[in-house]
Chain A
Amino acid sequence: QKEVEQNSGPLSVPEGAIASLNCTYSDRGSQSFFWYRQYSGKSPELIMFIYSNGDKEDGRFTAQLNKASQYVSLLIRDSQPSDSATYLCAVQGAGGTSYGKLTFGQGTILTVHP
């Protein structure tokens, strides 16, 4: 079992729709969870983080965390063509030797078509 798994893509949604990206993780001790956006040929850009159960909203983005189910998701409302990118889920451990280490999923390619 992979440590961090993301829903297999690619995911294609029409402009204005809600895009839903999902991620599961295996380490129950994980404490912090991040979503990065990566455009083709570019480096990952941090767009959301969450560490408490529930929802966290930032503009058109909502991150959801359920530690009991070891599940984290990202919703993008009113999707725009500029949202087309690879979305990476990253998990951070409980500190100590895990401090600073991020474990990434394989990424989900999102395409928003006009």
Chain B
Amino acid sequence: DAGVTQSPTHLIKTRGQHVTLRCSPISGHKSVSWYQQVLGQGPQFIFQYYEKEERGRGNFPDRFSARQFPNYSSELNVNALLLGDSALYLCASSSYRGRYTEAFFGQGTRLTVV
């Protein structure tokens, strides 16, 4: 069974540009979440999608947007990139187990904004 796959793995962009990050969840998982992890800190929640609907949004500016497709894959878009957007972007695929939700992470996309 394939795990969570993210693309690209590394990306270098210039300030002001736009970036699109992609994620394919584990087969059978209908929920995808996005996290931003800055060096030395824990991941910060950006978005959660379930069945193509946004179910949660973290404290990020409107430059960040996302969507989920009918096959449950997802895209994270960031407009007008700032130097501070440089981080590891993680996609998590989730499965609801009744009393808890297991979340498994992809390998991440390392975004560097110069």
Contact B103 A100 (CB under 8 A): yes
Determine chain B's interface SS by DSSP, over half rule: strand
Number of A-B contacts (CB under 8 A): 75
Interface size on A, residues (CB 8 A): 26
Q: Which of B42, B96, B101, B104 contacts A104 (CB 8 A)?
A: B42
Q: Which stretch in A12-20, A42-50, A68-76, A77-85 binds the other chain?
A: A42-50
**Distance, CA A42 to CA B3, complexed state (A):** 14
Q: In angstroms, how far is the closest chain A Cβ from the Cβ of B34? A: 11
Q: In angstroms, how far is the closest chain A Cβ from the Cβ of B41? A: 6
A:61-114 near B, CB below 8 Å: 88, 90, 92, 97-107
Interface size on B, residues (CB 8 A): 29
Contact B104 A32 (CB under 8 A): no
A interface residues (Cβ-Cβ under 8 A, vs B): 4, 31-32, 34, 36, 42-46, 49, 51, 88, 90, 92, 97-107
B interface residues (Cβ-Cβ under 8 A, vs A): 31, 33, 35, 40-45, 48, 50, 55-56, 58, 88, 90, 92, 94, 96, 99-108
